[in-house]
Structure formats: structure tokens, C-alpha cells
Amino acid sequence: MSTENLWKQIKNSLKLKNSNNSLVQMWFEPTEIISIDEDSGGSRFKLSVPSELHKYWITQNLLDSIFLEISAIYGKPFQIEFVVNEVSPKSPNASTDASMLALSQPPVSLTGTLGHTPTAKNKDTLNYDYTFSTFVVGRNNEFAHAASFSISENPGGNNYNPLFICGPTGMGKTHLLNAVGNHIKEKCPHFRVNYMSAERFLNECISSIRRREMDKFRKKFRQDCDVLLMDDIQFLGRGEAVQEEFFHTLNDFFEKKHQVVVASDRMPKDINGLEDRIRTRLEWGLIADIQMPDIETRVAILKYKAERKRLNINQEVITYIARISKRSIRELEGNLNKVKMFSELQGLNITLDLAKKVLATHDDTTSMTIAEIQKLVADHFKVKVADLKSKSRTKPLVVGRQVAMYLVKKHLDKSLVDIGRAFGGKDHSTVINALRRVESQLAINSDLKSDLEELETRIHNITGL
């Protein structure tokens, strides 16, 4: 099949699955294929788009779908590169309504903590924008940053092997993995660094088994690699045969004192389907946790990004965006990009009113939700959210449940009925007793007072209020 026919088939399939989405038709239709190039990393689909705006919209909203469509038809490992061709006559009419609709779409691209938004070609290769110097350190990530830097200074020659970086999606794990790889390559150019996603490892392993090329696969990871950086390792729980290979790969690295750094959105013990022998090896080294940055760190990140983008944006707008963007750093940068794009399209200065207009659908976070408070309290008392909603009467759970109810009532001003419903259908009298119990204990129980103060501080760090 020719390159043009292959792309036509991929393009038609994607458009057919999104036939009712006018935005996909408008922004994706002008995309053309330039070539499919072969290199040491596999195939590279080089795609032409009419403008930077097209490139941004597609990478923010359609990148995962494009990968899936190509994977379904093209049987080899591949990457994607977008090339902007400004003279293309197919660019859409970027009207005010269309622009606002495009900006309102939820971002699904892989964006990092700082620096530029990585293109698809960086999916399984190092992104050179992600370095330690472009990583804003705050209380939420200072330990993970310090551990990552220490390892990159002396890869394999420490007790932090493997380093397991854990945190919710969009918190900077990928940035740190790349920073480790970039620092090692700068410090020790002869080191062979392999950065890839666990999903890519899984797919390559399955493909090698089918083609009876496991010797080639093992050579790539066990002989031709000194530092292994693997992202989204939670995907390994999907395949038993792949776990067998990963287990022996880990053992080989440890025996040779070669460095392994992995990242996941959950702790080893919480990865479904992961074999115990792999779980224990991942727990051998050092686990570094990353959480959502507090309001001060989010402001610092936004200031840095605004400077990199050469944006004239005042402190009032920065603080507003930081306050409403509390789910992930990807959301933080996404909201800044939306304001930037709208101001450029409309020729307007970035003001607080403009930011509020563009981000109106996001400005529902002046306070936390019940679920978010429950998660904070559960983490603090080292219990599960489900336990807070259960009927269990064990002391740690009762205290945690009462504190969570107290914080919900104080910060969200929910009715007693709403609070009881959110905690497993408790009646209003149970909620009243919980509130009274906490209030009465605050004056005499220093441990409870300390717990509440710490939780209040965390709520302030997230909401800025």
C-alpha cells in the first residue's frame, strides 16, 4: 500500500468515527502526510499541518486517536512528527466561535511540567526541554527532585536502584525521567540511555514474541542499555509474558549495577495484575512521591511559563489561573495556553476579565469538593476513602470520618443530609454527633488539633483560600 493510500485510510477511519464532531472535521481535514521515514527508533510519520494553531489543537485533542488509528493499520513501531506549512491554502477560518469551541475542548496531550509542549516524536525519546533547570521545585516535589538529581550524578552507584517516582497524572513525573536522562547524557556521554513508556515495552515484547525475535529484544534492553527510564509502568500489569521479560531485565540491571528509574500514577502495591516478585523489586530501592503543588508553587510555575512564552501577564491573572487549576500541572499549562491563544486570536491584552471569560467553565474550584476532602483525610490517616464511607467503628476510621465530615461542613457548607449521603448514607444525627465530637475534642486533644491544622494547611495550598 502506498504512503498516500495508507494515510487516506487512516484519515477516513478517524473522520468516520468523529462524523458528528465538526471541530475534528475542520482542524484535522487539512492534515496531509509528507513521508514515512525509517530510522533506528522505527518509523516516523511526518505530517503536514497548515499552522501552529492546527498543530496545537491536534496535539491537544486528537493525538491519542491518531496513534490508535495508525496502530490498527500499521504493524511496526512508529513515531509522529508535525511539520507546519504556513502557505497551505486549506487552513480553516478561525472565527471567534470556532476558536472558543476549540479552546473549550479538554486537553489530552502529553504535556510536561515546564518548558515547551512536547510533540509526538518525543513519546519514546528524550525531550531535551525537560531538564532539572526547567523544573520548578516546591514542597510537593522537592524529595523526588533531589533523589532524581542524585541518581543522575552517579547512576547505578547508589542505593537508589530502582528509583520509583509516583504521583497522579500530570504532576511532572515524565519531566523528571527526562531530566535524569538528559543530565546523564551530558555528564556521561558514553552511557546508553533508553527512555520509553511501559506500553511501548509491552508492545515491542509482544511483537518480538510473534516474530520470534526475543534475542534481539533482550539484547536491546540488557546489553545495549546502561540506564533504563520507563514511564507509566502501571501498564505492565496487563501482560504475564511481558512481566516475565521485565523481571529478568530488572535482575540483569541490578546485577550489573545499571540504573533503573520508573514512574507510575500509583504505588507498586496498588498496580493491578503486577506480579509480587516485580512488586518487591520495585520496592527495594527508593520511592519518591509527587503531589499537586501548593498555590505558591503553581504561581511560580506559571510565572516561569509566561516568561518562556514572552507573555505580558500581571500577578492578578497569574494568581487567578493558579487558584482554579488544582487538578494537575497539565491543566495549569493548558489554561495558560487557552488564555494566550484567545488573546492572540482576538488581538486583546491579557486581563483578569479576559481570563475569567475564557476559563469560565473551569472556575468551579474556589473550594474543594467532598470527594477531594475525603481523599485528603484518607491519605492523612492512612485509610481508604471507601473506609470513610463504611460502617466500620474502629477508632482510626471513626476519627478520620468525623474529621472529614467536620471539614466538609466548614469549607463547603453542605447540609447535614448531603454530608451523610456522601459518607455512605449516614443519617443527619450521625453527622451532628461527628461535628460536636470534633469541636469538643479540639480544646483537649492536641493530636487532633495538629491533624486538623495540617489538613487545613493542605486545603489552603490547593485552593489558595
Class of 295-358 in CATH: mainly alpha
Q: Where in the chain is the domain with CATH 1.10.1750.10?
A: 370-463
Over the stretch 226-243, which tens digit does the pLDDT of each residue have?
Answer: 999 999 998 888 777 789
pLDDT for position 180: 95
Q: Where in the chain is the domain with CATH 3.40.50.300?
A: 122-289
Q: Mean pLDDT across the chain, nearest whole number?
A: 81
Q: In Å, what is the CA distance from 417 to each residue of 40, 166, 424, 431, 432? A: 62, 36, 11, 8, 10
| Alpha-carbon span 463 to 327, nearest angstrom | 10
Which is higher by pLDDT, 413 or 277? 277
Over the stretch 255-303, which tens digit does the pLDDT of each residue have?
Answer: 898 999 999 988 898 888 889 999 999 988 889 988 878 778 888 889 9
CATH assignment of 370-463? Answer: 1.10.1750.10
Which string of DSSP letters, residue by residue, matches 228-287? EEEE-GGGGGG-HHHHHHHHHHHHHHHHTT-EEEEEESS-GGG-TT--HHHHHHHTTSEE
CATH superfamily of 122-289: P-loop containing nucleotide triphosphate hydrolases (3.40.50.300)
Is 3-92 a CATH 1.10.8.60 domain?
no
Q: How much is the pTM?
A: 0.57
> In this structure, are residues 178 and 209 in contact, taking their beta carbons and an 8 Å threshold?
no
Q: Where in the chain is the domain with CATH 3.30.300.180?
A: 3-92
Q: Is the model's pLDDT at 415 over the cut of 60?
A: yes
Write down how long the chain is. 465
Q: Where in the chain is the domain with CATH 1.10.8.60?
A: 295-358
Over the stretch 416-440, which tens digit does the pLDDT of each residue have?
Answer: 888 999 999 888 888 888 998 998 8
